[in-house]
């Protein structure tokens, strides 16, 4: 079996830098959000997100408040946009950007945006794979090479899922910026773009971590096979 020293090298070389990028992205999105939470506009987040939806013929999506910080999301099952306490009803540039980004996700479902259909289709598999991939692969070390291969395939599906999130998130932000461009001033739009760009970096960082972990697993099991 491949030594722990080698495993640690893979972790240090691949995963640690990706995790550092992830922590940096999280810090950046929080600091950017806090910065533009101090810039007020003449509108509320609920108002503009609602206007964005109704302008595209979406009238069955409810906008509600949810506890937490930056816990905003759109649930296609109950058709609710849940805005966190700092965002719901706020008139800041940061809040408007976040709220309209979530409205962008609602529009993606409403308009049948293709990547969101793929994401919805593979989500049940990914939910299982994310928790089962590594244990199955480790069991394969002791019982069967087939289990190792199954574990790697399952892990690959989680990586694909993370990569698929990128165009979905970027598209939702693009829809938000387009909707706000004719309403907010130039400086306010630039603030919205910075907030949404910072948020997008967290998804890029998450994808980077997923890819790094996947490469680490491939190298570990490939090294084990060469030692047989």
Tokens of residue 206, six digits: 């998450």
Provide the edge-to-edge strand list for the sheet that holds 73-75: 62-66, 80-84, 73-75
Catalytic residue among 47, 62, 102, 188: 102
DSSP letter at 111?
T
Q: Is 69 helix (H, G, I), strand (E, B) or coil?
A: coil
Burial 133-142 (b: 16+ CB within 10 A, else e): bbebbeebbe
Q: Which long-range contacts (CB under 8 A, 24 or more apart) does 2-8 make?
A: 2/220, 2/223, 2/224, 2/227, 6/220, 6/223, 7/220
Burial 63-95 (b: 16+ CB within 10 A, else e): beeeeeeeebebeeeeebbbbbebbbebbbbbb
What residue spans of the chain are helical by DSSP H? Answer: 4-10, 16-36, 45-54, 93-110, 114-142, 145-181, 186-226
Is 47 assigned a catalytic role? no
Q: Is 39 helix (H, G, I), strand (E, B) or coil?
A: coil
Positions marked catalytic = 102
């Amino acid at each position: 079996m491949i030594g722990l020293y080698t495993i640690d090298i893979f972790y240090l070389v691949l995963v640690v830098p990706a995790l550092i990028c992830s922590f940096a992205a999280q810090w950046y999105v929080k600091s950017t959000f806090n910065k533009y939470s101090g810039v007020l506009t003449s509108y509320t987040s609920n108002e503009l997100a609602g206007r964005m939806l109704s302008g595209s013929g979406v009238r069955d999506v409810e906008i509600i408040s949810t506890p937490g910080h930056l816990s905003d999301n759109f649930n296609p099952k109950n058709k609710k946009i849940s805005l966190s306490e700092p965002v719901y009803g706020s008139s800041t540039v940061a809040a408007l950007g976040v709220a309209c980004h979530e409205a962008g996700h609602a529009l993606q479902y409403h308009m049948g945006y293709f990547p969101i259909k793929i994401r919805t289709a593979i989500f049940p598999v990914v939910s299982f794979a994310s928790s089962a991939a590594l244990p199955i692969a480790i069991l394969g070390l002791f019982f069967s090479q087939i289990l190792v291969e199954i574990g790697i395939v399952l892990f690959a599906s989680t990586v694909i899922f993370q990569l698929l999130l990128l165009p979905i998130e970027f598209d939702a932000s693009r829809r938000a910026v387009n909707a706000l461009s004719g309403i907010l001033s130039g400086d306010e739009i630039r603030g919205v773009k910075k907030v949404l760009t910072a948020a997008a970096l967290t998804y890029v960082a998450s994808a980077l971590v997923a890819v790094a972990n996947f490469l680490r697993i491939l190298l570990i099991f490939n090294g084990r096979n060469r030692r047989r």
